Structure 1
């Protein structure tokens, strides 16, 4: 006689606690509370409590506890164990499949426009050469990313590095330096000395209005003890990138963050005519959610970022050099 078909139970509220089921499988596989606790990174006392909780839920003893000997599963435990082992294996397989599908997707990176164009993008070809299968999707914004709402896996942000609830690590310290085109070294007022600054156009990055660490001519001139400069003259830009590009085009002299002009200084599109680099309060930081930090995609990208940041900070010819004026005599 055929037994009537019974649909599998799907009411999760009827399940015993998952921690108790895990503890049961670990004890059955390892033969003791101590070794099960080591496998699950909890104390033997916690394992014993979870086993008693499961026995109370089922209504029967699961292990015979003979003093001085390994725990022996009861007949009920032996019937229960294979299904749980298979169930946990299915759960792990489902998680692995999800992880594999996520790892195949492009890494979504949120970054400020100026940093993306002047530092990150020129280096991405080296990332592709090393990992041709690794794709990225870059979204530029000056807003702080909200990982609970925005579609971003990680971000590179300029700031103090204190982002509540997130993993944050410094990539690059930054300095403020005056920069201009080499063309401004020629003409009736060559810009090879700070005394000739009044004869040239100041290019302003208006980011200082919302960010106290942004390059600001008033603060820089005061630090350099320079007076008599009309700070109302010269074009103003709401993006650092535009002020830098105007300087490259020979339209005047700009104050810039060293990270954003390091490549332009190294290849001669810009020079640092005078003045000492001034370290700013903020730095560039890598940011992501803590539980995503050790995923393969983020680890691959972060390790590459660390290498590139270290090479950038140590590169000759940038504003980090001990004597930036040496560029003029090269």
Structure 2
């Protein structure tokens, strides 16, 4: 930052006060200084940049274009700083844990557990996001990511080893005479999450076919979706066979909405709990970590029936 910008930054509160008050006397009252201090500082800025900021008369003061631009910018920066400080303080005082998760995981796993979280004394705010959270810029405290991990620069805890599992509704199985002992003996209607199929992180029908020798039918989806939870919901509705992954389908099996077809196949990626190293030291993170790992184990028990 050059010397001119340093001096302009130092004059920022005076310019911001002038933008708010539109008057030297009122600006001085805002800053709790003498009017001459405001006048001298504004004059110094004008002399430094060689541009007049105000047109002064004995009875009025009018902003020039340059004055309006500079004073508005100074006022906005201070306003943004105050707002940022308020957000930091509110986040520090709040008992809420802000959790960023992929939309499918939010709908199929996290949201149904909020009642249990509240019973455990946790106040969780769910942020369903497809993009990776930036803890330095976003409001989230923790995130759950599906990938290979760990993640450099973040505290990362593996929540669960991941598996993929084909699933269909009881009605679809009956209507299509699917033999649960040999589910791929005849073609089925494939429901595809096309975004996962295109994702470099392994998951999808192509990966399932590579790991299941008996699944030989062409991968020609009957219907495409852009989220796994939508494909699973379509399977519940009887449209075909969807491919789910760990934490997304166990509750539907327990409720009898979906039935596994064949054996689950392991995946290299996992679900990871991530946060900043700073937040990892807080009691809120420790409490949330203990609770979320308990829920992962509970979900595994739903799948195995134990």
Distance (whole Å) between structure 2 residues aligned to residue 238 and residue 180 of structure 1: 19
Distance (whole Å) between structure 2 residues aligned to residue 101 and residue 179 of structure 1: 41
Q: When the two structures are superposed, what TM-score results if normalisation uses the length of structure 2?
A: 0.65
Is it true that 1:225 corresponds to 2:223 in the alignment? no
1:146 to 1:129, Cα distance in 2 relative to 1, 3 A: same
> What are the residue-to-residue correspondences of 1:172-321 with 2, within 5 Å?
172-187=160-175, 189-192=177-180, 193-198=182-187, 200-206=188-194, 207-214=196-203, 216-226=204-214, 229-274=217-262, 276-313=263-300, 315-316=301-302, 318=303
Q: When the two structures are superposed, what TM-score results if normalisation uses the length of structure 1?
A: 0.61
Kindly indicate whether the alpha-carbon contact (under 8 Å) linking 2:117 and 2:123 is maintained by their aligned counterparts in 1.
no
> What are the residue-to-residue correspondences of 1:1-330 with 2, within 5 Å?
102-131=92-121, 134-187=122-175, 189-192=177-180, 193-198=182-187, 200-206=188-194, 207-214=196-203, 216-226=204-214, 229-274=217-262, 276-313=263-300, 315-316=301-302, 318=303
Q: CA deviation at 1:135?
A: 2.2
Write the deviation string for residues 209-233 of structure 1: whole angstroms up to 9, x where unpaired: 113311x223323432236523224
How many residues were matched structurally? 217
**What secondary structure sits across from 1:259 in the alignment?**
coil
**What secondary structure sits across from 1:186 in the alignment?**
helix
Higher Cα Rg: structure 1 or 2?
Answer: 1
Distance (whole Å) between structure 2 residues aligned to residue 127 and residue 222 of structure 1: 38
Q: CA deviation at 1:188?
A: 5.4
1:303 to 1:100, Cα distance in 2 relative to 1, 3 A: farther
Q: Which runs of 5+ in 1 are unaligned?
A: 1-97, 323-330
Distance (whole Å) between structure 2 residues aligned to residue 227 and residue 122 of structure 1: 33
Q: CA deviation at 1:249?
A: 0.6
**What secondary structure sits across from 2:266 in the alignment?**
strand
Write the deviation string for residues 250-287 of structure 1: whole angstroms up to 9, x where unpaired: 1001111032001111121100122x211101111111
Q: CA deviation at 1:136?
A: 2.2
1:180 to 1:153, Cα distance in 2 relative to 1, 3 A: same
Kindly indicate whether the alpha-carbon contact (under 8 Å) linking 1:155 and 1:286 is maintained by their aligned counterparts in 2.
yes
1:152 to 1:295, Cα distance in 2 relative to 1, 3 A: same
Kindly indicate whether the alpha-carbon contact (under 8 Å) linking 2:147 and 2:201 is maintained by their aligned counterparts in 1.
no
Distance (whole Å) between structure 1 residues aligned to residue 230 and residue 117 of structure 2: 27
1:306 to 1:212, Cα distance in 2 relative to 1, 3 A: closer
Write the deviation string for residues 167-223 of structure 1: whole angstroms up to 9, x where unpaired: 00011211011100011231353353324441x211112112113311x22332343
Q: CA deviation at 1:100?
A: 9.5
Q: Which runs of 5+ in 2 are unaligned?
A: 1-87
Kindly indicate whether the alpha-carbon contact (under 8 Å) linking 1:112 and 1:141 is maintained by their aligned counterparts in 2.
yes
1:247 to 1:291, Cα distance in 2 relative to 1, 3 A: same
Distance (whole Å) between structure 2 residues aligned to residue 205 and residue 230 of structure 1: 16
Give 2:14's aligned residue. none
Alpha-carbon RMSD across the aligned residues, in angstroms, is: 2.3
1:126 to 1:167, Cα distance in 2 relative to 1, 3 A: same
